[in-house]
Structure 1
Amino acid sequence: MCGVLSIYSPQKSVSTELLNKGICTLHHRGPDNQSIWLSDDLHVGLAHARLGIIDLESGNQPLSSHDGTIHLVVNGEFYDFEKIRRDLEADGAVFKTGSDSEIALHLYERKGVACLSELRGEFSLILWDQNTQTLFAARDRFGINPLFYAEHNGSLYLGSEIKALLAAGLEAKWDIDSYLHRSFFYQDFTLFAGIHQVPPGHFLIATPSGTRIHQYWDFDYPTIAATEHVDEQEAISRVREVLLDATKTRLRADVPVGVYLSGGVDSCAILGMASSLIDQKISTFTLAFEDSDYDESATARKMARHVGANHHEIPITQTEIADNFIDSIWNSETLCMNSHGAAKYILSREVQRQGFRVVLTGEGADEVFAGYPSFRSDVMRLLGNQASSEQRLRDTNKVTQGLHFLNSMNMNKTLFERFFGFTPSWIPPLMNIQDRISDLLSLKYEGQNYSQQAVFRFFNGLNWSKLKGISPLHMAMYGVSKTALPNYILTVLGDRMEMAHSLEGRLPYLDHHVVECVAKLPEQLKINSSFVEKYVMKEAVKPFVIDEVYNRSKHPFLAPPSIMDQKQRFYQLMQDSLRSATVRDIPFLEHNKVLKFVDGVGDTPQDEWPVAEAILLELMSLYSLQYHFKLSE
């Protein structure tokens, strides 16, 4: 993957200096080469920072058509590109490079924006079409790769990271409404005023007459009435087939490919499938936490030994996590509710130091196959067992308990039932944190029920034609896939932590062939009658994992809590940071309230630690953003 940047100014000249400043901030995304292109009239500028993965010798960008009328920059990977290239060559296309990115140029020449349906992979792209005087930008179906945009003083800015847009001339200001209403999580806003995301599965068109955004893909679950009976063994075989194909396509690179490995079925299955597809040893990388409740290295070690992998264990201390937290937030440009983002940041740095540029990762499996305990709870509750569903959330395991703060102080269940017909279990924990944070707001912003307003805005913005008539489980899966997946999982644990160290993550579970295959299956194959989550996936990958992994309960990737422990470095960092003048500069927080909250941390009952820790980490995230970006009101 790489970094991209564009400035489009229909009425004035683009500044070469600002374009260069912006792309230089993305050096970590593309250390091999930085290049810019300016149109003859200086109204359009494209910039690219390259991380070489395929065609190391001649794959620099921007790419241009033979007649010089179309120019393109791409961040990402296109799979099956050899086959597409052969088809294009048979149709008369002449390629200048061996890069996978060039297929997008030739596809656009032939199909225009419809070319997106042909592209398979994780990507963001920006293209200038001189013939139609159109800037075309697009983001992959799931939001694996970031793409931000802003309109300011008659110019349109697009880039892989917000910091590039700021360096190119935008002012760093808080989007206070986005923060208060969680629009940076539920919708396509950010925490930076005027800066938005191009939503996953959407493309942007800009001309002198204005900017428009269109959707080209969405999750598509069958209605209950239209759900077809599927033979279980046939479904398992089909899922196995598409997963193997998705893994195989992501092993193609001109540099070594490693695998991130935990003790869970998601990453272990990727390792098992990858090992079955190639004859060489695969290098695996696992974090080893000090806290045994969170450490999965023993199971990962067994799995690596089972397939003969070249296994690397990376010990990580609580002190290291604390020392890297603030930098991890600078890279993510958003809030973190657990220090797992910093842990992933450290892991990626160590993998890069081992000489790797590409890793396969397991993100997306829980969203695609219904792997979260909240989904199982929803199914149990809708079958009439409310008490059992909540107890299962509590009892899954100690680590998973930290994901669920079961009661929101101001939750109005009627609100959710109006939209969904039930209250999805993934929503109350988010509302709970937001309600608690509301107690720390400055006088100007206190007194409103922001959490309910936030959810109301989210539901009002949904494409209800996609939800009408589908099962409650699929409704809940859709909601998570439109919010937490692109705006948290793929940011805090994905691209931003990997590309901070020039490392490309590839996600087999978020292959649209896999997602479209699984979406069509009945919900009973995702969570079966015994309430086994990800049932069809576990059965599909059973031949590729050890029994311990197959039989293991859900164990999410979370870092051990430490910010509440007075003996830990993170506790002291929190105390120093939240008492600093930097927090006073955050316009929507009342510093005296924050100080009072911090003073009372030591008296927090242990059963309240998960909520208190999430609040403190959010405050630390806000501090980190203010510290790095010096945001104004």
Structure 2
Amino acid sequence: MCGISCIVALRDDQRDRKIDGSNSRLETVTEDELDRSLNLIRHRGPDATGKWFSSDKRIALGHVRLSINDLSPAGAQPFHNGPPSTIHAVVNGELYDHDRIRDELTRTTDFAFHSTSDCEIVIALYQRYGLSFLEHLRGEFALCLYDAEAQVFIAARDRYGIKPLFWTMQAGRLLVAAEAKAFLPLGWRPEWDVKSLAEGGWNNDERTVFKGVQKVRPGHYLVCRALGHVEQRTFWDLEYPDKRLKDVRTEEEMIASVRKHLLESVRLHLRADVPVGVYLSGGIDSSAIAGMVTHLIREQGERIGNDKETERVSCFSIAFDEDSGFDESSIASRTADFLGVKYFKKHMNEAELAKRFEDATWHCEHYYPDLNFIGKFALSELPRQHGFKVVLTGEGADEHFSGYQVYLPDYLREPDTSFQSPLFPESLRIEQFERAERDLADYYTSIGAHMSTSSDTLPRRMLNSISTPASMAAFRVDSLFAPWTKREYGNAEPELTIANNVDGRVRSLMADKWHPLHSAQYVWTKGHLANIFLSCLGDRTEMAHSIEARTPFLDHKLTEYVNGLPPSVKMRWVAASDGQTLTESAQKGAFVEKWILREAAKPFITDELYKRRKHPYSAPTTYPENGPLHKLLQHLITKENVEGLGFVDWEKTRDLIHRAFVGKEALAMRFAFSVAQWVVLSQRFGVMKAEAGSAIP
């Protein structure tokens, strides 16, 4: 994993013309500004720095390296073809199965490899396949490539957005970087994108919390031709089966195939020239990864990293106070004992959370109303302390195997005619559907949020009536905003933002071909997975400590298979009577989420985990009066600081801290954390105060 910062000075015929009519490059890139940009993301790559400038100084590719594969100087970036060198690239991430691709390219092309780095295959693949090279990449990546002969600049992001990539236009220059803070030395003056904040654009589409700064979408590439026109295009998207077609596979076949694909993904993710560890929680996802890693090493003789950890796998965990109700470290410890792995855990109390609050916010570059991102930030300190640069994690399993309760109403919205079990009668489906929708709405009401249950809304009509977007939009921060924001930006409709983020081709598939569960998985994966869970609960908190986290569940060869499975093997009704069957008289039972993953992982996990219901990873949600967090938020949420934001109404926020810490109101606590993070971002980034009249007409 690494950090990249790239600058492209765009052509402007009027600006670039001298008085005498000859052409001149008035816009250039200086080495000093690129150095300062890279220094702000040095945490992503503390091992080396690499830079390349075009001969006319209009294009610069910058790279800070975290050495994982090919630790020699030959693995340093940027990479180039040639001689002569006409193609140049910087890559952030890991590309798997690169040995096979390298061998194939060596046989079929005259490309001369200069290293054994996984990332060098980018240049060779582009030289052979042009813009089609992206479909040959397997892994998590963000990259920038410049083809000098074709005058084409490309910035691409992996299929699920595991690696971040941002872009903006400043003073006639296209800026692309792994983190927005890298733009600060390049002429960028941060402003709040108030509309994005109000309607949830930052966590559901390509926008960020900063005006004019956008994300390259997952599975997309940005292309700039002839240093002029810039556009974003798709190279990959999620696909699901036609719900009208019968699935003829047996459950045993599907379970075996899931196990095979997941083992293959884990095997590929073990490759590195440094030690590799595993993040271990009390859930089935990370435990399945740890169990499979142990199996591959002990039973099949696989390498793990650079072979320094061949006898016992090292696992890392976070522990909250036992009386908080959120500590899962005891379960993780029992799993570690079962697997016979080395187990390291970091204890996090309230004081430790408060100590890291501001730094974690700076690294994430957006707010998040729960503090589990700070727990992940602290957890990522632990591997480094024990000599590890790489860890495997369990992100992505819930999205693909249906691990979230918010999916349940959409699973039950229609019968699964492709593979519906006869033990689950239609009458029970309808009954459970109504209960699931009601229970979910009641949950959001209990925490002070609001989930719309009406099926006759524009977003629902656009997305075949699925309710998952309503749950994604239940937490509304715009209720804290100053009155002028509504006049200037109109009514905020976060649920409509989610619906609008789905393109017309996919909306048609949702209407006619996809089961509602798969439609729900699609919008969640494009929204919360890419913009929250893989950001502040993924790359940003991990790379803050120079840790490369790998996500075997998001290997696209695995996910393409899992996405093609029928809904009824992802969520499964199990009767309370005997745990296996449901009869007409046994009308009580429960839905088991991630059923097929449980079955596929069963040989590698404890019976406790196999039977345990999902408990989402979370930090504690309530904290005592006059404690470290209470005092920190009192320091941050002041009249001066809040009014300095410009878009937040002080009268609506002045009692938040009292309501949160004294009144123990869950929603007030989340609002208080959000406002405090806006203040931190404002101060750390120097964000200009938002004011009426600043909206673009």
Q: Which range, TM-score by smaller chain?
A: over 0.9
Task: Say if 2:297 is the partner of 1:278.
Answer: yes
What is the letter of the counterpart of residue 521 of structure 1? Answer: L
Task: Tell me the equivalent position of 1:611.
Answer: 667
What is the letter of the counterpart of residue 502 of structure 1? Answer: S
Equivalent residue of 1:305, what SS? helix
User: Residue by residue, what CA displacement relative to the aligned partner does 1:454-482 show, whole Å, maximum 9, x if unpaired?
Assistant: 32233133124232321111111111001
Task: Tell me the equivalent position of 2:386.
Answer: 354
Equivalent residue of 1:101, what SS? helix
Task: Tell me the equivalent position of 1:31.
Answer: 46
1:191-206 matches, cutoff 5 A: 191-206=209-224
Task: Say if 2:449 is the partner of 1:431.
Answer: no
Task: Tell me the equivalent position of 2:301.
Answer: none
Distance across 2 between alignment mates of 1:68 and 1:335: 42
Task: Say if 2:146 is the partner of 1:166.
Answer: no
Match of 1:248 among 258, 267, 271: 267
Equivalent residue of 1:414, what SS? coil
CA separation of 1:380 and 1:404: change in aligned 2, threshold 3 A? farther
Task: Say if 2:636 is the partner of 1:593.
Answer: no
Using the TM superposition, give the Cα deviation of residue 65 of structure 1 relative to its aligned residue in structure 2, in angstroms.
0.5
Task: Say if 2:610 is the partner of 1:550.
Answer: yes
Task: Say if 2:456 is the partner of 1:414.
Answer: yes
Task: Tell me the equivalent position of 2:320.
Answer: 289
User: Residue by residue, what CA displacement relative to the aligned partner does 1:580-625 show, whole Å, maximum 9, x if unpaired?
Assistant: 5222210100123211333443563x5xx33222222211221221
Distance across 2 between alignment mates of 1:489 and 1:391: 26
Distance across 2 between alignment mates of 1:553 and 1:393: 17
TM-score by length of 1: 0.94
Using the TM superposition, give the Cα deviation of residue 308 of structure 1 relative to its aligned residue in structure 2, in angstroms.
1.1
CA separation of 1:17 and 1:226: change in aligned 2, threshold 3 A? farther
Match of 1:71 among 88, 93, 101: 88
CA separation of 1:582 and 1:411: change in aligned 2, threshold 3 A? farther
Using the TM superposition, give the Cα deviation of residue 341 of structure 1 relative to its aligned residue in structure 2, in angstroms.
0.5
Distance across 2 between alignment mates of 1:112 and 1:602: 57
Match of 1:476 among 520, 533, 545: 520
Distance across 1 between alignment mates of 2:4 and 2:253: 42
Distance across 2 between alignment mates of 1:403 and 1:48: 47
Using the TM superposition, give the Cα deviation of residue 227 of structure 1 relative to its aligned residue in structure 2, in angstroms.
5.2
Using the TM superposition, give the Cα deviation of residue 406 of structure 1 relative to its aligned residue in structure 2, in angstroms.
8.1
Task: Tell me the equivalent position of 1:313.
Answer: 345
Equivalent residue of 2:378, what SS? helix
Match of 2:76 among 26, 43, 60: 60
Task: Tell me the equivalent position of 2:588.
Answer: none
Distance across 1 between alignment mates of 2:66 and 2:333: 30
Match of 2:55 among 29, 36, 40: 40
Larger radius of gyration: 2
Match of 1:501 among 545, 550, 565: 545
Task: Tell me the equivalent position of 1:125.
Answer: 143
CA separation of 1:362 and 1:451: change in aligned 2, threshold 3 A? farther
Match of 2:360 among 319, 322, 328: 328
Using the TM superposition, give the Cα deviation of residue 391 of structure 1 relative to its aligned residue in structure 2, in angstroms.
6.8
Distance across 2 between alignment mates of 1:136 and 1:404: 47
Distance across 1 between alignment mates of 2:339 and 2:467: 39
How many pairs align?
621
Task: Tell me the equivalent position of 2:586.
Answer: none
CA separation of 1:394 and 1:351: change in aligned 2, threshold 3 A? farther
CA separation of 1:379 and 1:518: change in aligned 2, threshold 3 A? same
User: Residue by residue, what CA displacement relative to the aligned partner does 1:100-142 show, whole Å, maximum 9, x if unpaired?
Assistant: 1001110000001101111000000000100101101100000
Equivalent residue of 1:585, what SS? helix
- Aligned residues: percent identity? 35
Using the TM superposition, give the Cα deviation of residue 387 of structure 1 relative to its aligned residue in structure 2, in angstroms.
5.2
Equivalent residue of 1:145, what SS? coil
Task: Tell me the equivalent position of 2:120.
Answer: 102
Using the TM superposition, give the Cα deviation of residue 576 of structure 1 relative to its aligned residue in structure 2, in angstroms.
1.9
CA separation of 1:410 and 1:121: change in aligned 2, threshold 3 A? closer
Asked if 1 retains the 8 angstrom alpha-carbon contact of 2:222 and 2:231, the reply is yes
Task: Say if 2:559 is the partner of 1:515.
Answer: yes
TM-score by length of 2: 0.86
Task: Tell me the equivalent position of 2:3.
Answer: 3
Using the TM superposition, give the Cα deviation of residue 410 of structure 1 relative to its aligned residue in structure 2, in angstroms.
6.9
Equivalent residue of 2:687, what SS? coil
- Deviation larger for 313-322 or 501-510: 313-322
Distance across 1 between alignment mates of 2:661 and 2:156: 48
Using the TM superposition, give the Cα deviation of residue 412 of structure 1 relative to its aligned residue in structure 2, in angstroms.
5.3
What is the letter of the counterpart of residue 537 of structure 1? Answer: L
Over aligned residues, Cα RMSD in angstroms? Answer: 2.1
CA separation of 1:590 and 1:282: change in aligned 2, threshold 3 A? same
Match of 1:630 among 669, 682, 686: 686
Distance across 2 between alignment mates of 1:407 and 1:93: 57
1:386-397 matches, cutoff 5 A: 386=433, 388-390=435-437
Asked if 2 retains the 8 angstrom alpha-carbon contact of 1:18 and 1:169, the reply is no
Asked if 1 retains the 8 angstrom alpha-carbon contact of 2:10 and 2:174, the reply is no
Asked if 2 retains the 8 angstrom alpha-carbon contact of 1:182 and 1:454, the reply is yes
Task: Tell me the equivalent position of 1:443.
Answer: 483
What is the letter of the counterpart of residue 605 of structure 2? Answer: V
Using the TM superposition, give the Cα deviation of residue 380 of structure 1 relative to its aligned residue in structure 2, in angstroms.
4.2
Using the TM superposition, give the Cα deviation of residue 562 of structure 1 relative to its aligned residue in structure 2, in angstroms.
3.7
Name segments (4+ residues, structure 1) moved above 6 Å.
Answer: 401-404, 447-451
- Deviation larger for 581-590 or 23-32: 581-590
Asked if 1 retains the 8 angstrom alpha-carbon contact of 2:241 and 2:564, the reply is yes
Asked if 1 retains the 8 angstrom alpha-carbon contact of 2:660 and 2:666, the reply is no
Asked if 2 retains the 8 angstrom alpha-carbon contact of 1:3 and 1:30, the reply is yes
What is the letter of the counterpart of residue 618 of structure 1? Answer: S
Task: Tell me the equivalent position of 1:20.
Answer: 35
Asked if 2 retains the 8 angstrom alpha-carbon contact of 1:335 and 1:621, the reply is yes
What is the letter of the counterpart of residue 457 of structure 1? Answer: T
Distance across 2 between alignment mates of 1:349 and 1:200: 27
Distance across 1 between alignment mates of 2:544 and 2:532: 16
Task: Tell me the equivalent position of 1:258.
Answer: 277
